Structures are given as C-alpha cells and as structure tokens.
Amino acid sequence: MSTSALSLISHPLCPYVQRAAIVLLEKGIPFDRINVDLSAKPAWFLAMSPTSKVPLLQIHGGDGTHQVLFESMAICEYLDETQRGAPLHPSDPLVRAQHRAWIEFGSATLADAWGYLNARDSTAASMKAVVFRDKLERLEDALGAGPYFGASQFSMVDAVFAPLFRYFEGLPAEGNAALFDGLAKVGLWRQSLAARHSVVAAAPRDYAALFQGHLQRVGSWLAPQ
C-alpha cells in the first residue's frame, strides 16, 4: 500500500525515470518509488503502462481511486503545473517555448549518447561519437554564463540533461575526454548538475556499478575489463 499520494514506477538505470524523480525532488513532494524488472515485466505493470515502459506516475486519490500518467515529459509537466515549489519553466512565453525545444533536443542527444555508450567496438563508437559531439557543440553555443541552462535558475531543461551526463560519471575519463574536450561551458554545466541534491538523489547510490554491469552485459567497448 502506498504511503504517499504519488508513486513513481521506476527502473534504477532509466534516465527518463530520473527526469521525473528530479522534478519530484525539486518540488519537495514525498513519493514512493517502485522499481520494476524490465526483463520480466509483471502483469500489473503491463496492465498500467500502454507503452510497457517506465516511468509511470500513479496518483492516489483520497477516495481510494488511482490515476496513472505515462511518458516522462507528460509526468514532469503535470508535476510542474500541480505541485508547489519554484516553477521549472520560464515565465516568458518565448523563452518557455525555446526551453521546450531544447528538451526535445535533449531526447535526441540522449539517444546519440546511448548509441555511443552501447557500441560494441571502437569503430562503431567513433562513428556514434561524431554525432554526439555535434550535439554537445550545439549546447556549448547555446549555454550562457551558467551555472544552469537558464543561467542561475534550475529548469526543466536541466532535469532532462542531468541523467544523460550521469552516464559518464562512473566511466574512465580518459576514454571519453575527447567528447567533452574544449567545451568549457558544457563542462561547468555538468559539474553544477552533478552537485545538485535533486540530481544526486534521483538515482540509486550504486548507479555507477549498475551501469557498468549493463555495459558488460551488452558487450560495450567501454565495459570495464
């Protein structure tokens, strides 16, 4: 039985789950976190999730009813609109629209990073790295003085990119240095995100070990030997 009004149906490694968790933590809202084994999805989960994916947000009504939201950004937008705490979108309509566009860019960047990290040999990784590096250079051009995407205020764009950068925290820096070389603003942004409480708390403490285990299982060229 849930002890909170909100339950986040989760997986320890899912970056999309982390988006929602970061928003919940930024808002200071208590929630239950229920992890699902995605290699053996339980029937109750498949019945709740139209896409068979995480995250899901289960909203427990005071009258015993339950509503379920799926898709990470739908969940994040709902939380930002309904929960207390500082808004995670800018108030200016144009800037808000620009941020939403960069959120879409963030999803594409995450896909490119995932392809690079899961490549099975250095040749394939080099090809993926070119595409990923191009995205990072676009971000370098878009970033301002920091420490966050929208200057001093943490925003939804930050919540989207933080899980992507987390992938690289537990990996040998020398193997990935070229990806981030010369991108000073991206580097400072990564550091600021990695130090933020909501970002830290959005993933399990053993995240790095879990991710390295994933890389070994898929035969990634980056897997520790």
CB 215 within 8 A of CB 117: yes
CB 135 within 8 A of CB 105: yes
pLDDT in tens, 164-202: 999 999 888 777 888 999 999 999 999 999 999 999 999
162, part of any domain: yes
How many domains does the chain contain in total? 2
Q: Which residues of 121-136 are buried (b: 16+ CB within 10 A; e: fewer)?
A: eeeebeebbeebbebb
User: Which pLDDT belongs to residue 28?
Assistant: 96
- Residues shown for the chain: 225
pLDDT in tens, 10-48: 999 999 999 999 999 999 999 999 999 999 999 999 999
Which residue among 57, 82, 107 closes a domain?
Answer: 82
1, part of any domain: no
Q: Are residues 113 and 182 in the same domain?
A: yes
87, part of any domain: no
User: Which pLDDT belongs to residue 170?
Assistant: 81
Q: Are residues 77 and 98 in the same domain?
A: no
Which residue among 31, 53, 82 closes a domain?
Answer: 82
163, part of any domain: yes
User: Which pLDDT belongs to residue 225?
Assistant: 66
Q: What is the pTM of this model?
A: 0.95
Q: Are residues 17 and 115 in the same domain?
A: no
Q: Looking at residue 114, which CATH number applies to its domain? A: 1.20.1050.10
User: Which pLDDT belongs to residue 176?
Assistant: 83
User: Which pLDDT belongs to residue 201?
Assistant: 98
Q: Are residues 173 and 203 in the same domain?
A: yes
209, part of any domain: yes
CB 21 within 8 A of CB 196: no
How far apart, in whole angstroms, are the C-alpha atoms of residue 156 and residue 46?
28
pLDDT, averaged across the chain = 94
| Band (3; pLDDT cuts 50, 70, 90) | low
Q: Which residues of 36-57 are buried (b: 16+ CB within 10 A; e: fewer)?
A: beeeeeeeebeebbeeebbbbb
Q: Looking at residue 58, which CATH number applies to its domain? A: 3.40.30.10
User: Helices 173-180 and 184-195 meet at what angle, rounded to 10?
Assistant: 120
Three-state DSSP class for residue 8: strand
From the number of C-beta atoms within 10 Å of its C-beta (0-12, 13-18, 19+), residue 151 rates as: exposed
67, part of any domain: yes
Domain boundaries, position 37: 6-82
CB 8 within 8 A of CB 24: yes
Residue whose token pair is 């060229």: 221
Q: Are residues 115 and 134 in the same domain?
A: yes
How far apart, in whole angstroms, are the C-alpha atoms of residue 47 and residue 180?
42
Q: Where are the strands (E) in the chain, listed by range?
A: 6-10, 32-35, 56-60, 66-70
Q: Are residues 99 and 181 in the same domain?
A: yes
Q: Are residues 71 and 100 in the same domain?
A: no
| Band (4; pLDDT cuts 50, 70, 90) | confident
Mean pLDDT of 85-107: 97
pLDDT above 50: residue 203: yes
110, part of any domain: yes
User: Which pLDDT belongs to residue 61?
Assistant: 86
CB 151 within 8 A of CB 95: no
Q: Are residues 100 and 209 in the same domain?
A: yes
Percentage, residues of the chain above pLDDT 70: 98
pLDDT in tens, 112-157: 999 999 999 999 999 999 999 999 999 999 999 999 999 999 999 9
Q: Are residues 192 and 111 in the same domain?
A: yes
52, part of any domain: yes
User: Which pLDDT belongs to residue 36?
Assistant: 97
Q: Are residues 178 and 111 in the same domain?
A: yes
